[in-house]
Structure 1
Amino acid sequence: MKKVNERDFEYRFGDNGPKYLTKGPNVDVGVVVLKPGQHFPNHYHTECEEIFYILEGEIDFYINGEKVEAKPGDMIQCRPGDSHYLTNQSDKRFKAVFVKSPHIGRNDSVVIDAPVLS
């Protein structure tokens, strides 16, 4: 059993970006925040899949270059090899829970060029 609180962890970029609440042994879980106008680099995972559950705000996902708009209550699933780029073009903060499985003991993210935005 493990219990943690989000307040006990820091975002990668101060007050935004991802922060992990747990890494392994079987799954990684975290929270990601993007402020208005921010984006998260286009990337894919070689072995794990990643699921995003939107808590607040709106975001444009580009999954394999295709625009997918997401709002609170939506879930986005990216399978291994699916490129995903997040861009917050709204005037509100975006926040989501992300789950990566299986846990990979090394970085399996591959950063690629940003898609052409529509």
Structure 2
Amino acid sequence: MKIISEEEQPVHGGVRYMNRGPDIDWGLITLQPGEEKPAHFHEHMGETFYVLQGIMTFKLEKEEIQIPMGSAIRLEANESHGLENKENNPAKLIFIKEKYLPEDKINCT
């Protein structure tokens, strides 16, 4: 058993890892109004996002999709994705990477 407190985990650019390995990576992302995360993809793992608060805009390869609070989006390996909060209030979501492969991130820019 492992108990993890959100407040005890460091935040890096709005990303707070709650658990890193040995099997999965997961954590929280909080974006303030107008804040965004650049597009990237993972070659070997899919990623699921669940919106806890607000509306998050996902910038996919050929479209933008707004995902509201209480909804999830699943992205397969090699699907490019960036995030942006285009709303007037903070947005917060959970991310779950299906494997623990911290080196599996390729920036699109």
TM-score w.r.t. the length of structure 1 is 0.87
- In 1, Cα distance between equivalents of 2:4 and 2:50: 19
TM-score w.r.t. the length of structure 2 is 0.94
Name stretches of at least 5 consecutive residues in structure 2 with no aligned partner.
none
Aligned to 2:75: 78
- In 2, Cα distance between equivalents of 1:76 and 1:4: 24
Aligned to 1:98: 95
Aligned to 1:11: 11
Question: Percent identical across equivalent pairs?
Answer: 29
- The reply to whether residue 64 of structure 1 matches residue 36 of structure 2 is no
In the TM superposition, structure 1's runs of 4+ consecutive aligned residues that sit over 2 Å from their partners are: none
- In 2, Cα distance between equivalents of 1:10 and 1:102: 21
Aligned to 2:2: 2
Counterpart AA for 1:9: Q
Q: Secondary structure at the match of 2:7?
A: helix
CA RMSD, Structure 1 to Structure 2 (Å): 1.0
Aligned to 1:112: 108
Count residues in correspondence: 109
Aligned to 2:33: 36
Once the two structures are TM-superposed, the CA of residue 64 in structure 1 deviates from its matched residue by: 2.1
